[in-house]
Amino acid sequence: MIDFIELERIVGEAIRSGAEYAEVRYHRVDGLSLFFLNGVLFGAYQPLVSGVAIRVVYSGGLGFSSTSDLTSEGLRDALSRAIASARSSSFMVKNKVVMGAASLGYAKYSVLERKLLVDMPVEDKINSLVEKLKSIDFKRDPMRISSYTLSYNENIEYKMLVTSDGAVIESRVPRVSLFYNISASSGERRANRWNMLAASGGFEVVDKVKLEEEINDDLNSLYTSLVKAQSPPRGRMDVVLGPEIVGLAMHESVGHPSEADRVLGREAAQAGLSYRREYREPQFGSELVTVIDDPTIPGSYGFYLYDDEGVPARRRFLINKGRLEELLHNRETAAVFNVESNASARATDYRSEPIVRMANTYMAPGDYTFEELIEDVREGVYIRKYMEWNIDDYRWNARYVGLEAYIIKDGRLGDPVRDVVLEITTKEFFSNIDAIGRDLEFSAGTCGKGEPSQPMPVWMGGPHIRLRGVRL
Amino acid sequence: MIDPQVLAENASRKLSNLVDEYVVNANIVSSVMVKYADGEVTVTQSWKDYILDVYVSKNSKINTSTYTTHDPIEVLSKLPSLIEKLTASPLYTPLPEPTGSPLSIIDSRLKDSSLSGDISGLLGSIDVKSYGNVAGMIEISYSRSHYIGSNGLDSGFEITEFNGYFRVFRGDDSGQWAWVSTFYDESLARGALDKASSLAELCSSLPKENIETGYYRVLLSPMVSGNLLESVARFSTAGSVILGFSFLQGKKAGDIIASEKLTLREVPRNNRLPNYRGFDDEGVATMDKPIIERGVFKGFLHNSKTAKLMNEKTTGNAGWILPRIFNLEVEPGDIRESELLEALGDGLYATNNWYTRFQNFLEGTFSTVTRDALLIVRRGKPIACSRRARLAGSLPEMLSSIEDLSRERWQIKWWEVRAPIILPHMLIKKITVTSTTL
């Protein structure tokens, strides 16, 4: 086990070697996954990923190295590779990298577990999950279930961070996620529904996320889609969207394009660019809309109190009353924009450089009840859940395909419809919102970004919302 | 440096009396990646990882682990107590006899530079800056693996890899291209830069036009067809079928699932591609084999566990719990690349895509978003460029709608094509394209 003294030593050696900035992170992720097929455990997986990441700025060039070899020789080699990488970068930069000034933390924090993951016997975890699955009635005649799978995943993320300009952070965040897929058919029609439920905390998360209720609800959605739903109406009409789709849209259409590295073109060849490179009108959408990214929500899947550059986390207002506001920054992008970092640097593991990421992105709730949202619609569709989505690499044109959706006629919910496709620009989406529900629900996700890819735990949330006159 | 063979032997000794069966894979991976944006280097990254992958079984209970840590041997002692507490797996079957021999492919330039982290000599001659506004990355890597198993497996191999991709911008227009190889060849990187640059310039020189939603003849570049055919290959693994993630569920060998123009092969023994290997994770000899041959489905990819479950034979594609794909190859077609637009006639040439998502895995319905140059072609000539549109359809329909493929092939791997693949351009008779706003 490595300690802070060793990390401080590496930082000191980096600075003595001529680096302008050095950051050393010990990062350990202990995991356990259990895989169930049709209610029966079919395998387990136990990853342990631990090592040291070193990042240095040398003559304006940025270098990163990592190693799982924690011997003196291994750490020396990693430092020399980081400096060599930064030096080689420095010969090929026009704009020198600067890590922007920030109020840095000297802190230790951890997320407490009511049911300790390390103490709870694995057989108790298995039994608890099997019992939950057994309690679910999968029968929905004439729908047939061809298979269902569940994976239980826990990981305990432990980090020690030291930077050359004074950050010292120790953190421990346990997380639990459940991912399931149900494959169903009715006659010639087949469909599947996957879902992820997750939060930070101990094994109590399994109860908190209400696995049985969620699966039951998804079985009902599949039944509705496969057995009862008809073809959807087409044309321009009002649409009410459920929190699941609203949360996803906040992540995809607001969160990603607000990442400052994407705005600067650093992700141009991978996850793409952002409409916020060009969009200059501050009033972006309805004044009703406020979109926030907040890493500090207790129990959230994207929870942290200090980012991986040692900056204290806070709420970020990405859209405030319809106006585009903050970008998500790490210290490097903050320096370019001449602002202070808002603590968005996250790294998946010791092999990953900290890059700009979201945490928990959501639309702030309004004051409508669900009934009020519906009663004012003469002709429209309510889309409750989605089964497919994508968006272009400027984050401008998105597509959502409904799994469970209903006709709205004269202010009342009507028959279910299937395969409703909403293709809409981000601008149209936010401009056409005329009412926002007072509810707020979060969904869990694993956000993808970076090269090499860095999967990152996030929450996405929102209330029910109403869009007027959009094309289906 | 820790020797993977020594690490594997230590792990093997630790496990041999504690479990019924085991396989360990000790792996050292050294790699360097240079990332570019706006024509300059944004970061250079260097990794050196010691990874120990472990499979154990006891009383038909199975567990796998990955230890990327300083002292994996110490952690191994926790395994027996964990496995005792599991329940018997319905997938369990005894490890098969090892039948494969090791295959290695090493380019010493890639090996030396990956290990030292010094890439200045190797990549210095690739003049990325001269292409203007370029984003992308170049990666070199070296890995050495050693497997030891209770089934008698005791074998190791080494691989080097050179891959990358570039996206070149000309104003608001762009082109992107990728490459992968087991050898260092700077012409691959320059070729990708040239290709991306020429697509960006072509798009830039053309008027911009929005695409009307409707059915189109579409020419898919290897970047796009690689993305979609990789999905087809993944759906052909028995694991995808068992877990309910495959439109091939219910299909059997001999079923016609594609145009007779398509032959898609899984090729672990192609030494131009970096997942080149002589045996799979169970020690079974790998083999190059068709997944689809002239439109006919040739069967699912298996490890010994899924093979037993489906009463078939392993295809040398283990994965300890579920099978996996190594490398892919698509047989060439008849059209010269220089004649592709003429063969397309009236239609669209999609040069790149991303964000493929499945609306329904069991029916294979999907949509994917084009990015970079999307050329509108009339009478065989590009007459306009549209930046983005969405291709939507079903994989079964798209496979049946393949009209022809190009003679020339490309070796592709990038963010949206994870399995290394050699493949040509692919001409699709009809697919739905929906308009997006410029």
Looking at chain A, the whole-number percentage of residues with pLDDT higher than 70 is 100
Please tell me which residue of chain A has the smallest CA distance to B213.
A423
φ, ψ at B68 (rounded to 5°): -110, 85
Task: Note whether B333 and B407 are within 8 A (CB).
Answer: yes
Residues of B in contact with A41 (CB under 8 A): 86-87, 89
CB contact under 8 A, B49 and A45: no
> Which structure tokens are listed for A309?
């550059």
Residue B90: which of A37, A62, A84 has the nearest Cβ? A37
Partner B contacted by A407 (CB < 8 A):
no
CB contact under 8 A, B360 and A391: no
CB contact under 8 A, A265 and B368: no
> Which structure tokens are listed for B170?
């000309």
Q: Which of B69, B179, B368 to probe the A interface (max A CBs under 10 A)?
A: B69
Residues of chain A with CATH 3.30.2290.10: 4-228
Partner B contacted by A376 (CB < 8 A):
no
| B contact residues 278-317, partner A, Cβ 8 Å cutoff | none
Partner B contacted by A337 (CB < 8 A):
no
Please tell me which residue of chain B has the smallest CA distance to A275.
B438
CB contact under 8 A, B64 and A397: no
A9-21 tens-digit pLDDT: 999 999 999 999 9
Residues B112-150, buried b or exposed e (16+ Cβ, 10 A)? bbbbbbbbeebbeebebeebebbbbbbbbbbbbbbbbbb
What integer pLDDT is reported at residue B71 of this predicted model?
82
Cβ-Cβ contacts under 8 Å between A and B: the total is: 266
Q: Which residues contact B166 (CB under 8 A, 6 or more apart)?
A: A269, B36, B128, B131, B134, B135, B136, B176, B177, B178, B189, B192, B193, B196
What integer pLDDT is reported at residue B438 of this predicted model?
43
- Residue A180, Cβ density class (10 Å: 0-12 exposed, 13-18 middle, ≥19 buried): buried
Q: Which of B57, B243, B251 to probe the A interface (max A CBs under 10 A)?
A: B243
* Mean predicted lDDT score pLDDT of chain A: 96
CA–CA dist B59, B165 (Å, integer): 47
What integer pLDDT is reported at residue B437 of this predicted model?
58
A133-172 tens-digit pLDDT: 999 999 999 999 999 999 999 999 999 999 999 999 999 9
Q: What is the ipTM for the molecules in this complex?
A: 0.94
Q: Is the backbone of residue A444 left (phi > 0), alpha (psi -120 to 50) or beta?
A: beta
CA–CA dist A238, A378 (Å, integer): 8
CB count in 10 Å sphere of residue B401: 18
Least Cα distance to A361 among A440, A305, A430 occurs for A440
How far off is chain B from A12, nearest CA to CA, in Å?
A: 20
Q: What is the mean pLDDT of residues A286-296?
A: 97
CA–CA dist A163, A99 (Å, integer): 11
Residues of A in contact with B33 (CB under 8 A): 451-452
Residue A448 binned pLDDT confidence (cut-offs 50, 70, 90): very high
Per-10-residue mean pLDDT of chain B, 438 residues long, equals 90 94 96 95 94 96 92 83 91 97 98 90 88 97 98 98 98 97 97 98 96 95 98 98 94 98 98 98 98 98 97 97 98 97 98 95 95 97 92 96 98 97 98 78
CB contact under 8 A, A185 and B2: no
What's the fold here for domain A4-228? PmbA/TldD fold (3.30.2290)
Residue B65: which of A46, A78, A351 has the nearest Cβ? A46
What integer pLDDT is reported at residue B73 of this predicted model?
85
CA–CA dist A436, A450 (Å, integer): 33
Residue B89: which of A43, A92, A419 has the nearest Cβ? A43
CA–CA dist B210, B222 (Å, integer): 24
What integer pLDDT is reported at residue B1 of this predicted model?
63
What integer pLDDT is reported at residue A94 of this predicted model?
85
Q: Which of B19, B45, B60 to probe the A interface (max A CBs under 10 A)?
A: B45
A67-94 tens-digit pLDDT: 999 999 999 999 999 999 999 999 888 8
CA–CA dist A205, A211 (Å, integer): 10
Q: Which of B141, B359, B361 to probe the A interface (max A CBs under 10 A)?
A: B359
Q: Is the backbone of residue B117 left (phi > 0), alpha (psi -120 to 50) or beta?
A: left
Q: What is the mean pLDDT of residues A352-361?
A: 98
Please tell me which residue of chain A has the smallest CA distance to B122.
A88
CA–CA dist B77, A80 (Å, integer): 33
CA–CA dist A308, A187 (Å, integer): 52
B161-173 tens-digit pLDDT: 999 999 999 999 9
Partner A contacted by B7 (CB < 8 A):
no
> Which structure tokens are listed for A399?
């597509």
CATH superfamily of this structure's domain B4-162: PmbA/TldD superfamily (3.30.2290.10)
What integer pLDDT is reported at residue A159 of this predicted model?
98
A297-352 tens-digit pLDDT: 999 999 999 999 999 999 999 999 999 999 999 999 999 999 999 999 999 999 99
Please tell me which residue of chain B has the smallest CA distance to A26.
B69
CA–CA dist B105, B114 (Å, integer): 15
Query: Helix axis angle, A4-16 relative to A72-90, nearest 10°?
Result: 40
Residue A47: which of B40, B65, B82 has the nearest Cβ? B65
Least Cα distance to A268 among B416, B437, B38 occurs for B38
Going from N- to C-terminal start, the domains of chain B cover 4-162, 208-438
CA–CA dist B4, B7 (Å, integer): 5
Q: Give whole-number Cα distances, B400 to B65, B260, B350, B368, in Å.
A: 41, 8, 19, 18
Residue A401: which of B66, B69, B359 has the nearest Cβ? B359
Residue A389: which of B135, B321, B357 has the nearest Cβ? B357
Residue A269: which of B41, B75, B167 has the nearest Cβ? B167
